[in-house]
Each structure stands twice: as structure tokens, then as C-alpha cells.
Structure 1
Amino acid sequence: MKYSKATNYALHTMLFLAMAPPNKLVGVQQLAEKQNVSPTYLSKILTKLVKEGMIDSSSGANGGYSLSHNWEDITFLDIIHAIEGKSSLFDCCLNSDPVCVIKEVMLSAEEKMEEALRNQKISDLVKKISVDS
């Protein structure tokens, strides 16, 4: 299983924003340079995060991005769903069978993975990095 690069950039962007000084806007150019990605591509990802209410944006010469007021509650799963959507990773190819035992196994595993991602918050990483520094 593999998440898109957009998810990778979104997770890192959220961590970079969480590590920024409070009330400081961070520009897309700076975020893009940290991740060696095109600012245009990263802007599309940032738009999704803004739409989901995870980050705030401010336009203009001194504009940029900052975390939303409830950022401490944002989980990895929230970010992944904002980028990848909420559809299942597994899609059974046998639509004729009402109970697919393989699909049951795959969905059970997916639920366990989602639970782990739901329990991991960006704010937990910030605390860990602060302690390790």
C-alpha cells in the first residue's frame, strides 16, 4: 500500500507549520523549498488543507499559512483523508458475492491502521521533537 506524494507533503507541511513560531505566517515558497517541491504543486495541497479547516491562509505581500485554532487535535488520519479522500484502500473485484471474506479481512486490517493513524496527532510529534532537541 502506498499513499500519494501529496499526502507525504501534507503531513510534512503540517509539521513545519506546527514548528513555526506562534502567529507567524509561513509562505508557500518557504514550505516548498523545505520539501524540494514546486510551490504550484504544494499550493494545491494547501488548498485542500484550508478547505478542511486545518490551516488558515492569508493573501497579500505578507501572506502565508498558519495552523487553525484547533490544530492540536488534528490527526494523521484527518490529514490523509483531506488529501486521499475517505474511500477504502481495497475494492473487491467480485461484486456478485454479497459476503466477500477477503474484503472482510482487508477492511479489518484497514480499520486497525486507521485507528493507529487516528491516535497519532501532529501535536504529539511537536512535543516529541521539543523533548528530543
Structure 2
Amino acid sequence: MQITRQADYALRAMYYLAKLEPNQRAATSQIAEEQRIPPSFLAKIISQLSIAGLIHTSRGAHGGVTLARPAEEITILEVVEAIDGPIALNECTYSKDACPFGEDCPIRPLWCEAQDQLVEKLRTTTFGAFVKAAA
């Protein structure tokens, strides 16, 4: 499994916003430049994050992008799933019928356990904690 470039860029954009003061806005051009994200790609990402309720956007001279909730309340998992959908290490982790061995598959429990651990780590890591750890 590899996270998509779009989800990686979304995480970078959210990290940038999480480092701002509460209610401080950032221009998308500023985010794109500082996080090295192609502006046209960032526009699509910003739209998806806004639809997911993770950020607020406003236009105009005093517009920009800001987090919809405090950084301590937004998880890495929320952002990844807003962009890529639910995490699945293998198709059998969300449908045991995808495996020709079905219930008798010796590998499926390993994939399910690894996926559960990854999802739990991303679910319990907030941008607030992420910013503090990187500082």
C-alpha cells in the first residue's frame, strides 16, 4: 500500500494550517509555494478538504484557508480518508469473499491486524500532536 500523492499533499497542507495561530488564514498560493504543491493540484485538494468539513475557505482580499476545528481535534486518518477513502492494505481486509480461500485463508488475519494497527495510529494522531512533535 502506498499513500497517494494527493493525500500526501493534503497532509502537508493541513500541517501548514495547523502551525498557524488560531483563526489565522493562509492564502492557497502561500501554502502551495511553501509546501511545494502544484497550485492547480492544491485547489482540488482544498475543495475535497472543505467538503469533508476539515477546513474553511473564504474568498476576497481577507480570504484564505483555515482549519475548521482546532488542530488537536483533527486526525491524520480524517485527512487521508477524505482524499483516498478508507484504508485497505488488501481487498480481503474489507471483503473476505475477495479471497479464494475465504475463511480458511491463513494470511487474511495478518493483513487485518496490520491494517487495524495502522488505522488506529492515524486515528489517534492529531495535527496538534503532530505539530508539537515536529517542533
> Given the two structures, how large is their TM-score scaled by the length of structure 2?
0.85
One-letter code aligned to 1:98: G
Structure-2 residue corresponding to 1:82: 82
- CA deviations on 1:72-92 (whole Å, 9 max, x unpaired) are 211111111111101522024
Q: Which secondary structure does the structure 2 equivalent of 1:101 belong to? A: coil
Bigger Cα displacement from structure 2, 92-101 vs 31-40:
92-101
Specify every segment of 5 or more residues in structure 1 that has no aligned partner in the other structure, as ranges.
none
Q: 1:103 aligns with which of 105, 108, 126?
A: 108
Structure-2 residue corresponding to 1:120: 125
Hey, what's the Cα distance between the residues in 2 that align with 1:19 and 1:11?
12
Q: Which secondary structure does the structure 1 equivalent of 2:21 belong to? A: coil
CA RMSD of aligned residues (A): 1.9
Hey, what's the Cα distance between the residues in 1 that align with 2:34 and 2:121?
27
> Given the two structures, how large is their TM-score scaled by the length of structure 1?
0.86
> What percentage of residue pairs aligned between the two structures are identical?
33
> Are the equivalent residues in 2 in contact too, given 1:91–1:103 (CA < 8 A)?
no
Deviation (angstroms), 1:21: 2.6
Count residues with an aligned counterpart.
130
Specify every segment of 5 or more residues in structure 2 that has no aligned partner in the other structure, as ranges.
none
